[in-house]
């Protein structure tokens, strides 16, 4: 098991190339199951979750060919299994997104109930209820979701009671090969959903309303191969900007999409950062000043992303003033707070709201990662702490950040990965 050893107190400075988005890559890789031919995906991030998804596809008979340019070619012509087994699915909640493609391609599927980060309930009943509108019958037995549609999927109207990203993605993929028209209302609007839709269109799908909360899909008989480039990771990008802001430094992101991270950029400007937006770049400069505390409430896109909440708690911990951070998406996503308190952070937690009273500096301490974004926030806290911080269980952070310690070192951070 690896850990990070961080010696804080250095202002970050330099450039960071943003990797492809994990949350876009995973459903897009799953979409390859629907194509009886070769597809190519570019800008694929090298992450543990991506590796797991490729292993899962390979288990189903998909031919996988990786190259050294960050691209992968997949060929699902000889699809041999419609089962997503527990031993792979248990490590990654996002594996549920193979359900829709398998039903679309093979008219049946068996997917183990997913695992992953313990950040609260992400019930699959929303997926099941929605796919039933397309003619699928389900049973959940022996830890597996088993879906059948012997006559094929049929278009229908899906209204989500609650916005769900992976639920929208599953129905979107299933509907692409269903007979007739499907309408998805209250659909998730995240850029990762739009990227999946754009990918499906490249495969020959007919989709209208991309980027809105109402998607119209006219099913087609089959899809064909194509090349698609995965969008930049707005959460990785935001994390590096927060790290630079917390350390009173400066940072320029390259290969990013500023429009996708506007809610994060606005809050960084409120914190006192000078932000310069380019077409594919974002620059942040604190001009040596301590950040100001900001209030945050997480919301579905285009609101403030839940995946950036923990990083802003770390920023507020060393900011001037008091910041209120409220989590509305996941009910168990404040597990980083006790660890930050070990570092001297002054945080009062009341239900889903954390009141953070900023201090000039934190103190290094041994801390434990509990989930992906909590890990990132503890790294940020370590970068601004006096002395040495040891972050254990960094396998969590490897699920969503590509060589984060190498990128931070290029910005001047004193951080090492240590095998224990």
Residues carrying an active site annotation: 117
Q: Which residues contact 266 (CB under 8 A, 6 or more apart)?
A: none
Exposed, middle or buried, 232 (CB in 10 Å: 0-12/13-18/19+)? Answer: buried
Q: Which two tokens stand for residue 116?
A: 């992953």
Tell me the H-state helices in 96-190: 99-106, 125-132, 165-176
Rounded Cα gap, residues 21 and 188, in angstroms: 17
Q: Please give the structure tokens belonging to residue 367.
A: 């801390």
Instruction: Give the whole-angstrom CA distance, residue 240 versus residue 236.
Output: 6
Structure tokens at 361: 């500096």
Distance CA 160, CA 133 (A): 11
CB burial of residue 70 (10 Å; 0-12, 13-18, 19+): middle
Spatial separation of the C-alpha atoms in residues 158 and 183, rounded to whole Å = 6
Could you tell me which residues come within 8 angstroms of residue 274 by beta carbon, excluding any fewer than 6 positions away?
284, 285, 286, 287
Cα distances (Å, whole numbers) of residue 68 to 18, 65, 407: 17, 10, 19
What CA–CA distances, in Å, run from 253 to 8, 48, 250? 22, 23, 10
């Amino acid at each position: 098991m690896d850990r990070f050893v961080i010696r804080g107190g250095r202002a970050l400075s330099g450039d960071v190339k943003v990797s492809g988005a994990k949350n876009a890559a995973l459903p897009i890789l799953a979409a390859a199951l629907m194509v009886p031919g070769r597809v190519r995906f570019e800008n694929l991030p090298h992450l543990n979750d991506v590796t797991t998804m490729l292993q899962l596809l390979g288990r189903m008979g998909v031919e996988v060919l990786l190259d050294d340019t960050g691209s992968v070619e997949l060929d699902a012509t000889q699809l041999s299994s419609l089962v997503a087994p527990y031993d792979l699915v248990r490590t990654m909640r996002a594996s549920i997104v193979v359900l829709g493609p398998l039903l679309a391609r093979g008219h049946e599927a068996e997917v183990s109930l997913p695992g992953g980060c313990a950040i609260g309930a992400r019930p699959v009943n929303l997926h099941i209820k929605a796919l039933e509108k397309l003619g699928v019958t389900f049973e959940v037995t022996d830890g597996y979701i088993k879906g059948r549609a012997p006559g094929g999927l049929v278009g229908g109207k899906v209204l989500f009671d609650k916005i769900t990203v992976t639920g929208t993605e599953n129905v979107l993929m299933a509907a692409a090969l269903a007979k007739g028209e499907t309408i998805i209302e209250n659909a998730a609007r995240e850029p990762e959903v739009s990227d999946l839709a754009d990918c499906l269109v490249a495969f020959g799908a007919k989709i209208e309303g991309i980027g809105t909360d109402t998607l119209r899909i006219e099913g087609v008989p089959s899809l064909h191969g194509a090349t698609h480039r995965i969008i930049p990771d707005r959460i990785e990008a935001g994390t590096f900007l927060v790290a630079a802001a917390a350390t009173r430094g400066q940072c320029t992101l390259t290969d990013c999409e500023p429009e996708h991270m506007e809610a994060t950029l606005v809050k960084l400007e409120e914190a006192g950062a000078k932000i310069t937006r380019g077409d594919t770049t974002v620059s942040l400069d604190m001009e040596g000043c301590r950040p100001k505390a900001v209030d945050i409430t997480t919301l579905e896109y285009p609101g403030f992303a839940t995946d950036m909440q923990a990083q802003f708690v770390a920023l507020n911990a060393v900011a001037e003033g008091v910041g209120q951070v409220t989590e509305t998406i996941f009910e168990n996503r404040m597990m980083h707070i006790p660890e930050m308190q070990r570092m001297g952070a002054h945080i009062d937690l009341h239900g889903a709201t954390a009141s953070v009273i900023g201090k000039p500096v934190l103190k290094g301490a041994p801390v434990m990662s509990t989930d992906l974004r909590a890990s990132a926030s503890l790294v940020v806290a370590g970068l601004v702490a006096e002395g040495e911080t040891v972050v254990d269980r960094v396998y969590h952070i490897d699920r969503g950040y590509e060589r984060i310690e190498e990128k931070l070192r290029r910005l001047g951070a004193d951080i090492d990965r240590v095998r224990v």
